[in-house]
Structure 1
Amino acid sequence: MFLKLEDYMLPCLNKKLFGVDCLGCGFQRAIVHVLKGEFIDAFKMYPAIYSLLFFLIYILLNFKFKFNNSQKTVRFLLLLNLILIVGNFILKIL
């Protein structure tokens, strides 16, 4: 018996309580789309998915290899993700 990842997703409490999407709405479903190989659907669901994945991979690799100027790169990637997440949120509510 194969269990689907969708069966284990957490509901958005912000959406349930207030009826409004939060900044992270769509992230879990986008991860599922990436794992299934549905890359365009993942981007449509949550546009910041690829920059967040790159950010997490970079941080994990930085623990192992200690890149030069990693603090500047982490700050840049953090700012990029923040802009993408907030921009996506603003587009959703408009």
Structure 2
Amino acid sequence: MDYDPDFDDHAPPSFDRMKNVDRDVEAKGFNPGLIVLLLVGGLLLLFLVGNYVLYIYAQKTLPPKKKKPVSKKKLKKERLKQGVSAPGE
């Protein structure tokens, strides 16, 4: 039972299509998913670096926060704890 191929002079049609596959892969270029990933990653990195730069700039240029004034009630309690009587009592 010998097999005599009918395609002695050329490749079968299914293999002819495979020749074009190599050319198509090179012609496409970058994967669209890779482009989107790089774009989103770049924007995220730019956002984080920008926030860090603004934070450093604000630390250098803004004055320190003002402390809340201590209420008279708290001052009176502190003095009583320390044993100093409040004036007028």
The structure, 1 or 2, with the larger RCO (C-alpha pairs under 8 Å, 6+ apart) is 1
Between structure 1 and structure 2, the one with the greater Rg is: 2
Structure (1/2) with the larger helix percentage: 1
Q: TM-score, normalised by structure 1?
A: 0.28
Q: TM-score, normalised by structure 2?
A: 0.29
